[in-house]
Chains A and B, each alone.
Chain A
Amino acid sequence: MTSQDSQDIETATTAIQSQPDNKTRRYDRQLRLWAATGQSALESARVLVLSGDATSTSILKNLVLPGIGHFTILDNGAVSHADAGNNFFLEGLESIGKKRASEAVRLLCELNDSVEGHADTRNLSTFLDTSPEWLSSFTIVIAHNLDNAPLQELSSFLWSDPSYPPLVVVRSAGFLGEFFIQFHEHAIIESHSETAPSLRIDKPFPALREFALSLDFASMDPTEHGHIPYVVILVRILEDWKKSHDGNPPKTYAERQEFKKSILATKVKSDEENFDEAEAQAYRCWTETKVPPEIAALFEDPAVSPEALSQTSSPFFHLLATLKEFTDQSETHTLPLTSTLPDMKSDTSNYIHLQRLYKIRAEEEKQAFKSHLRAHVDDAMVDSFVKNAHSLQLLRGKQWGTFHQDKPALASNPKETCTHLALSALFSLNEMNTGAPPIAEALRQQIQGTVGEGVELPEGIDDIIGEIVRAPSAELPNTAAFLGGMVAQEVIKMITKQYVPVKGYCIVDLIETWTGVIGA
């Protein structure tokens, strides 16, 4: 390397970052998924788990490792011989007889020094009666194999105020399991959708159009010609096409084929990949950029109407109302442009120039968006909202248990429904005859009661009932670990408000190894 080079590198190095700190290195593999914003949401989260059993500690393990702020295990039980055999967060015989919550908290905390864990050995029922408000200090509450009565009480209380935390209800027996997230509303800005935003080739913004029109394909040297980005090629050829077609893009199949041919005919050498890319992307010319139907549906949400919007509305709804106003008033009736330009065959200067045009325009549209915004919203949130406007999501959840009122739904999706009905029946029976193992006939009757007398039970129900009878109180380590991963995954999505959590009951059958969703 010449001394000139090393000089440059030194100058550059002083201006840039050095190796990341230990925390960033520790979390590197997850920061690549949910970035610093997701991480900070996790670090502020407080998670309550209503048991110290194997499934509960498996869930917590997958939340402690990525670094949630705080967790509490509420469990007044002592470690049994059976617990010591199936829970990795107990120390075998040495833990037997000790408080299950305390042992589990101690061992889980070893996984990550930055997480605070608390063992609460009070009885759930007593404080549900006296001071349930305590629950609202948590970000999310998780309950595994909780008896029906306290579960119903818990679910009603947490449903009673939309500001109370979501509740994750997890149930399992043997190879079977299910979970359900009870929440009122869940707004997602960063859904990490794989759908890319429109490049607006069909509705080019002025600077893009001018750039495309300024190029003189015919007079370029071959190298230059082979490096025009396809976006520019398409905008230009479309403009030319429209001139000779009353301002319309190619409409019929024949026209589209002709249009594609005209792209290839512009080649000066047969191996110009940029023109091949343009031909492959030609559909963008006749796919009109408009507000995607999912986003248009959000504009109709009652919470976005001027009457409903107030100071107490969440920033998401203010932003959504602003977005509606912006698209209504924008000339092209489109969402704000995003500056992300995919890679394409091009030389550096053309690509960087094009990227700059997109950036400048995206910034202008963002400013225009902001001028419509009447509530105070944090700048970083506005940036993220505008950037992800094409893939926003708003989920509305249900209260746990309401699925059982939907009789037609109970009769559909047999495979998943069988498992759900059988697990529900098991917990209803457990409540009635404490201690005695359930028998098949009793489970069958219970299920019949749920779906309604006279309704034919789904095919395959007896197989599932048989599995429940075989292992009614078995918390298998693998099932616990599987649910532990699934539930933690969904809890992370709820807390970070990134990616899309599951709606309805997620059913797990580890005999045939499948998962399915019902009651969404």
Chain B
Amino acid sequence: MASNSAQINGSAISSDWRDRYFHIDQILDQPGPRTDPSFSAGDGVKDFLRNKCKILVIGAGGLGCEILANLALTGFKDIHVIDMDTIDISNLNRQFLFRPADVGKPKAIVAAEYVMKRVPGVKVTPYFGKIQDKDDDYYMQFNLVICGLDSVEARRWINATLVNLVDPENPESLKPLIDGGTEGFKGQARVIVPTISSCYECSLDMLNKPTTFPICTIANTPRLPEHCIEWASVLEWPRVHREKKLDTDDPEHIGWLYSVASVRAKEFNIEGVTWSLTQGVVKNVIPAIASTNAIIAASCCNEAFKIATSSAAYLNNYFMLIGTEGVYSFTFEHEKREHCPVCGGKSLEIPISRDWTVEQLIEMLTEKQTIQIKKPSLSTSTKQIYFQAPPQLEQATRPNLEKKVSELVEEGGEVIVTASTLPFHLSLVITYT
């Protein structure tokens, strides 16, 4: 045992006590029958894993806490973590690196400190902020990226960023992306090798459509407690509070919505408006438990370990788990989407009627399950069709909304779609039916 081994975060080697990796080394010291011949057992692979490999974890929440702990125990020593959130009391039922006294503190920082304290010799570098704050050079420094996110938008952003990072001339630019997600007793883990295998964007149509309620139901014919809650948050809040933004993390705001929704429910004889439901509807709360996160995070980290060491084949490429009735799982290869706007390299063909207005086209785009964008702006290579922002440009292009697309774009013409939530430009080829 080295004399300075108790020193936290000393150099990587000094903290590796005898037999520290007794378990992992059984895998790293020799190949298995199914191991790829490129695997170099022994010191080489250990040195890469423990001294050279740099891994990025996106999200320090339900999956992120588990991922950080697993990576640290597995022998990754240079781990970075990004998370823009602070700790909430409702995180404590599963985000096991946080304590009640940590409520309000940044997740990335608390998680990093905890893991470094518990697992000697591991360096975890936190960043408390958004993934969009970082540029290509930042992402270029990692060998692998693992995502434990609850946001589709953030996943699309990192996916597109890593796909765009790929330079065929430079093998180092290919960063495998491992993505996990859970909801209640269900979850999935997948491996994305940018440009080679199916990417996140390729599978957008697998997402459940978010529950939305027609505005006329909310305004005129409420039937469910949810309709009353939507009425309070979508219609009443802006009417009463004007410019003040609704903060769904503020209990006073939720309390206000709850009472307003309750009054409306009473008026219409609708039962079932509760505090919990109000919060669930306005925050789009997804049930989450420690055990499912543990399974999915372990699966993600296991793939990271196998990719980093080549000690065993990695997942090709999607693992789906449903734990509500027995244990059901499905491992399959998700196929690349031919017209994937991120990794497909081809324009998406959109057949529309000659009579369609620009507004109709925009509405269609926002509803399309394979595209999923809010507030798209449209242009061609020579002119602006419609821009959502800045306000002057919006005003200047607004008259186009009522024009027919066929007046502005020729048959087979290209339309570029941008949106603040999209990290890439979507290219459409318009054909008329």
Interface residues of A (CB under 8 A from B): 1, 5, 8-9, 12-13, 16-20, 22, 24-33, 54, 58, 61-62, 65-67, 80-82, 84-88, 91-94, 96, 110-112, 174-175, 191-193, 227, 343-344, 346-348, 351-352, 462-463, 466-467, 470-482, 484-486, 488-490, 492, 499-503, 506, 510-517
Closest 4 CB pairs of A and B: A485-B294, A466-B33, A485-B295, A82-B22
Chain B residues with Cβ below 8 Å from A514 are 319, 329, 331
A96 to B33 CA separation, bound complex (whole angstroms): 34
What is the 8 Å Cβ interface bit string for chain B, positions 72-99, against chain A (1 contact, 0 not)? 0110000000000000011011101001
A477 to B26 CA separation, bound complex (whole angstroms): 13
Q: A191-B325, A481-B294, A492-B291 are in contact. Are A346 and B276 (CB under 8 A)?
A: no
B253-296 contacts to A, CB under 8 A, are: 254-255, 258-260, 262-263, 266, 268-270, 274-276, 279-280, 285-296
Determine if B298 and A478 form an interchain contact, defined as CB atoms under 8 angstroms apart. Answer: yes
Of the residues A13, A343, A346, A488, contact of B294 by C-beta under 8 Å: A488
Name the distance in Å between A220's Cβ and chain B's nearest Cβ.
Answer: 16
Beyond A175-B312, A482-B294, 5 additional contacts (C-beta under 8 Å) are: A12-B259, A32-B276, A86-B73, A467-B33, A485-B296
Determine if B1 and A93 form an interchain contact, defined as CB atoms under 8 angstroms apart. Answer: yes
CB-defined A-B contacts under 8 Å, sample of 29: A8-B263, A16-B258, A19-B255, A22-B89, A30-B94, A32-B184, A32-B287, A33-B289, A80-B19, A81-B20, A82-B23, A92-B118, A92-B120, A111-B96, A174-B32, A227-B221, A352-B270, A463-B34, A466-B34, A474-B23, A479-B298, A479-B302, A481-B298, A481-B301, A485-B290, A485-B296, A511-B32, A511-B313, A515-B329
Name the distance in Å between A417's Cβ and chain B's nearest Cβ.
Answer: 17
Of the residues B70, B263, B319, contact of A513 by C-beta under 8 Å: B319
Determine if A482 and B185 form an interchain contact, defined as CB atoms under 8 angstroms apart. Answer: no
Among residues of B, the one whose C-beta sits closest to the C-beta of A175 is B312
Determine if B93 and A26 form an interchain contact, defined as CB atoms under 8 angstroms apart. Answer: yes
Chain B residues with Cβ below 8 Å from A88 are 69, 73, 118-119
Interface residues of B (CB under 8 A from A): 1, 5-6, 17-24, 26-27, 30-34, 66, 69-70, 73-74, 89-90, 92-94, 96, 99, 118-120, 184-185, 189, 220-224, 240, 251, 254-255, 258-260, 262-263, 266, 268-270, 274-276, 279-280, 285-299, 301-303, 305-306, 312-313, 315, 319, 321, 323-327, 329, 331
A63 to B195 CA separation, bound complex (whole angstroms): 40
Determine if A473 and B26 form an interchain contact, defined as CB atoms under 8 angstroms apart. Answer: yes
A489 to B96 CA separation, bound complex (whole angstroms): 16
Of the residues A27, A485, A500, contact of B93 by C-beta under 8 Å: A27
A474 to B75 CA separation, bound complex (whole angstroms): 14
Name the distance in Å between A12's Cβ and chain B's nearest Cβ.
Answer: 5
Of the residues A54, A58, A92, A513, contact of B302 by C-beta under 8 Å: A513
Among residues of A, the one whose C-beta sits closest to the C-beta of B254 is A19
Chain B residues with Cβ below 8 Å from A470 are 26-27, 30-32
Chain A residues with Cβ below 8 Å from B259 are 9, 12-13, 16
Q: A33-B185, A477-B73 are in contact. Are A85 and B23 (CB under 8 A)?
A: yes
Determine if B73 and A85 form an interchain contact, defined as CB atoms under 8 angstroms apart. Answer: yes
Name the distance in Å between A343's Cβ and chain B's nearest Cβ.
Answer: 5
Among residues of A, the one whose C-beta sits closest to the C-beta of B321 is A515
Among residues of A, the one whose C-beta sits closest to the C-beta of B279 is A28
Q: A30-B93, A92-B119, A174-B26 are in contact. Are A66 and B289 (CB under 8 A)?
A: yes
Determine if A502 and B327 form an interchain contact, defined as CB atoms under 8 angstroms apart. Answer: yes
Chain A residues with Cβ below 8 Å from B23 are 54, 82, 85-86, 471, 473-477
Among residues of A, the one whose C-beta sits closest to the C-beta of B252 is A19
Determine if B324 and A499 form an interchain contact, defined as CB atoms under 8 angstroms apart. Answer: yes
Determine if B19 and A82 form an interchain contact, defined as CB atoms under 8 angstroms apart. Answer: yes
A484 to B96 CA separation, bound complex (whole angstroms): 14
Determine if A502 and B185 form an interchain contact, defined as CB atoms under 8 angstroms apart. Answer: no
A352 to B271 CA separation, bound complex (whole angstroms): 10
Determine if B298 and A502 form an interchain contact, defined as CB atoms under 8 angstroms apart. Answer: no
Chain A residues with Cβ below 8 Å from B33 are 462-463, 466-467
A117 to B17 CA separation, bound complex (whole angstroms): 29
Chain A residues with Cβ below 8 Å from B32 are 174, 463, 466-467, 470-471, 511
Determine if B22 and A17 form an interchain contact, defined as CB atoms under 8 angstroms apart. Answer: no
Q: A510-B302, A513-B331 are in contact. Are A474 and B24 (CB under 8 A)?
A: yes
Name the distance in Å between B144's Cβ and chain A's nearest Cβ.
Answer: 14
Of the residues A12, A31, A174, A475, contact of B263 by C-beta under 8 Å: A12
Among residues of B, the one whose C-beta sits closest to the C-beta of A466 is B33
Chain B residues with Cβ below 8 Å from A110 are 99
Name the distance in Å between A515's Cβ and chain B's nearest Cβ.
Answer: 4
Among residues of B, the one whose C-beta sits closest to the C-beta of A467 is B32
A157 to B251 CA separation, bound complex (whole angstroms): 52
Chain B residues with Cβ below 8 Å from A471 are 23, 26-27, 32
Determine if A62 and B291 form an interchain contact, defined as CB atoms under 8 angstroms apart. Answer: yes
Determine if B298 and A33 form an interchain contact, defined as CB atoms under 8 angstroms apart. Answer: no
Chain B residues with Cβ below 8 Å from A193 are 325
Among residues of B, the one whose C-beta sits closest to the C-beta of A9 is B259
Determine if B287 and A488 form an interchain contact, defined as CB atoms under 8 angstroms apart. Answer: no
Name the distance in Å between A90's Cβ and chain B's nearest Cβ.
Answer: 9
Chain B residues with Cβ below 8 Å from A352 are 223, 268-270
Determine if B324 and A478 form an interchain contact, defined as CB atoms under 8 angstroms apart. Answer: no
Determine if A17 and B285 form an interchain contact, defined as CB atoms under 8 angstroms apart. Answer: no
Of the residues A16, A30, A517, contact of B326 by C-beta under 8 Å: A517
A96 to B22 CA separation, bound complex (whole angstroms): 14
Among residues of B, the one whose C-beta sits closest to the C-beta of A22 is B89
Name the distance in Å between B319's Cβ and chain A's nearest Cβ.
Answer: 5
Determine if B294 and A62 form an interchain contact, defined as CB atoms under 8 angstroms apart. Answer: yes
Chain B residues with Cβ below 8 Å from A486 are 291, 295, 327
Q: A481-B298, A486-B295 are in contact. Are A476 and B329 (CB under 8 A)?
A: no
Determine if B294 and A484 form an interchain contact, defined as CB atoms under 8 angstroms apart. Answer: yes
A393 to B70 CA separation, bound complex (whole angstroms): 36
Determine if A502 and B313 form an interchain contact, defined as CB atoms under 8 angstroms apart. Answer: no
Chain A residues with Cβ below 8 Å from B184 are 32-33
Determine if B262 and A66 form an interchain contact, defined as CB atoms under 8 angstroms apart. Answer: no
Q: A81-B22, A93-B5, A110-B99 are in contact. Are A482 and B327 (CB under 8 A)?
A: no
A13 to B260 CA separation, bound complex (whole angstroms): 9
Among residues of A, the one whose C-beta sits closest to the C-beta of B31 is A470
Chain B residues with Cβ below 8 Å from A92 are 6, 118-120
A499 to B289 CA separation, bound complex (whole angstroms): 14
B5, B23, B323 interface centre (most CB from chain A within 10 Å): B23
Name the distance in Å between A402's Cβ and chain B's nearest Cβ.
Answer: 19
Determine if A61 and B294 form an interchain contact, defined as CB atoms under 8 angstroms apart. Answer: yes
Determine if A488 and B290 form an interchain contact, defined as CB atoms under 8 angstroms apart. Answer: yes
A372 to B220 CA separation, bound complex (whole angstroms): 44
Determine if A17 and B275 form an interchain contact, defined as CB atoms under 8 angstroms apart. Answer: yes
B119, B269, B286 interface centre (most CB from chain A within 10 Å): B269
Chain B residues with Cβ below 8 Å from A1 are 240
Of the residues A5, A26, A29, A482, contact of B299 by C-beta under 8 Å: A482
A343 to B272 CA separation, bound complex (whole angstroms): 14
Determine if B323 and A489 form an interchain contact, defined as CB atoms under 8 angstroms apart. Answer: yes
Among residues of A, the one whose C-beta sits closest to the C-beta of B274 is A17
Q: A111-B96, A511-B34 are in contact. Are A12 and B262 (CB under 8 A)?
A: yes
Name the distance in Å between A171's Cβ and chain B's nearest Cβ.
Answer: 15
B21, B69, B291, B327 interface centre (most CB from chain A within 10 Å): B291
Determine if B255 and A18 form an interchain contact, defined as CB atoms under 8 angstroms apart. Answer: yes
A96 to B17 CA separation, bound complex (whole angstroms): 11
Among residues of B, the one whose C-beta sits closest to the C-beta of A192 is B324
Chain A residues with Cβ below 8 Å from B224 are 343
Of the residues B20, B70, B287, B326, contact of A85 by C-beta under 8 Å: B20
